[in-house]
Structure 1
Amino acid sequence: MAQMRFLLIVVFALACSASHDPHILRCLVCQKLVEEIEFEVQKVDPRKKVDVGSYRIDANGNQDQRAVPYARSELHLTEVLETICNKMDDYVRATYKSSGELTVLKLITNDGKLNEDMGKVDVIQDSDLNRSLKFYCEGIVEENEEAIVRLFSQKEDDIDIKLCTESAKLCSITLEKEQELSENDEL
């Protein structure tokens, strides 16, 4: 833990100061939000089920209940959304050294290693210590909670595009394509 704190201090000390369009930043935060929710859903045992439906008994003495996978249930997704924005504390704003393009980067990956892309970026020193990332995340969740639950419960493809571009209208298709091209160039 002490090593990680030291690493974070070093990263912030070496960071450069810059500002970028908040619309692009909100788009990037939305995409990272989708990644974090997907990670939380994948962590749940796929065999775990939860009963959903009505507890009322109909005229025939039956209840309208069925077991659904817990991971993508409305119950689990709602629980995830309550705390998911705390994960934004693990992210920093940065720009790619090669293109100057803004990105939101997780410092430590989910497997506990330093993000390999840290050498490819200049971290943006932020007077609010990137609290705005969490603020944007909370706003996105609050404004789009129903869409998030619907998309994840139905296990949609391309949730980042459906949520961030189509539903929340935070990303433009042009921005999406530019990022894909940039990521392909980085590889």
Structure 2
Amino acid sequence: MFNQNPQRCLRGLKSEFTDIAHRAEKLFPILTHLTVETACRAIVDELNYSISQIDPKKTINMGAFRLKPDGSLTDKKVPLARSETNLSELLDGVCGSMSDYALHVDPDTKKKQYKRFAPRSSDAGDFPDFNNFKFDGPEGSNALQFACESIVEEFEDDIISLFAKETDHVVDKLCNEVSDHCKGTKFQSDEL
């Protein structure tokens, strides 16, 4: 399974994203590969931000909660931020933040990509140049939200598993390898 040809894996990944895009195009004609790619990258960005806002000292009890022969409980504490319970809750709300993204056109290169325009509470005073954003009304954010929901629905277990154990290169692994289909490939686009 993991010894697949990287080209074959890339075709498989492109096929999966293309399937999502084709399903969504029926509802949102403006949905493109760029929208699906941005949604994938935005999921990672939003989850990483939400995880970073949780106190690293907070833990949650996990385990079978069974009694040992001596009468004590067998459970273990894991960091709350990357626990499956917390990640599942964060994932349930991640697509709601897609309304904070809009199409951005680089003034020099004319490259189009969706970027976050709404500053977070920790970004106080760090406002982007709104002249380079194209706000296409609710249709744009709805298409991005639909792409996000499609990705989350299809790959929820893989996303949770990846965030539970990974801290680096999550964008590469989620957006290129999606559930470990294509190990060893690199993400080709700029970061959000």
TM-score bin, normalised by smaller chain: 0.7 to 0.9
- Render the CA deviation track for 1:35-68: whole Å, top value 9, x for unaligned: 0000000000111100001123355645431001
Give structure 1 stretches of 5+ with no counterpart: 1-18
Give me the whole-angstrom Cα distance separating, in 2, the residues matched to 1:75 and 1:124.
35
State whether structure 2 residue 104 is matched by structure 1 residue 94: yes
- Render the CA deviation track for 1:76-102: whole Å, top value 9, x for unaligned: 000101111100111112322322322
How many residues end up aligned between the 2 structures?
158
SS of the residue 2:114 aligns to: strand
The structure with higher relative contact order (CA 8 Å, sep 6+) is 2
TM-score, normalised via structure 1 length: 0.73
- State the shift of 1:132 in Å: 0.7
Q: CA RMSD in A?
A: 2.6
Question: Greater helix share, 1 or 2?
Answer: 1
Letter matched to residue 56 of structure 2: P
Q: Which residue of 1 aligns with 2:46?
A: 36
Paired residues of 2:100 and 2:117 also in contact (CA < 8 A): yes
State whether structure 2 residue 126 is matched by structure 1 residue 118: no
Letter matched to residue 40 of structure 1: S
Give me the whole-angstrom Cα distance separating, in 2, the residues matched to 1:101 and 1:78.
34
Give me the whole-angstrom Cα distance separating, in 2, the residues matched to 1:108 and 1:178.
21
Give me the whole-angstrom Cα distance separating, in 1, the residues matched to 2:45 and 2:133.
22
Counterpart mapping for 1:68-79 below 5 A: 68-79=78-89
TM-score, normalised via structure 2 length: 0.71
Q: Which residue of 2 aligns with 1:48?
A: 58
Q: Which residue of 2 aligns with 1:156?
A: 167
SS of the residue 2:40 aligns to: helix
- State the shift of 1:159 in Å: 0.2
Please identify, of 57-66 and 153-162, the stretch whose mean Cα deviation from structure 2 is larger: 57-66
Give me the whole-angstrom Cα distance separating, in 2, the residues matched to 1:155 and 1:128.
33
**CA 1:115 to 1:103, structure 2 compared with 1: closer, same or farther past 3 Å?**
farther
State whether structure 2 residue 77 is matched by structure 1 residue 67: yes
Letter matched to residue 84 of structure 2: E
Give me the whole-angstrom Cα distance separating, in 2, the residues matched to 1:72 and 1:148.
12
% identical aligned pairs: 27
**CA 1:162 to 1:178, structure 2 compared with 1: closer, same or farther past 3 Å?**
closer
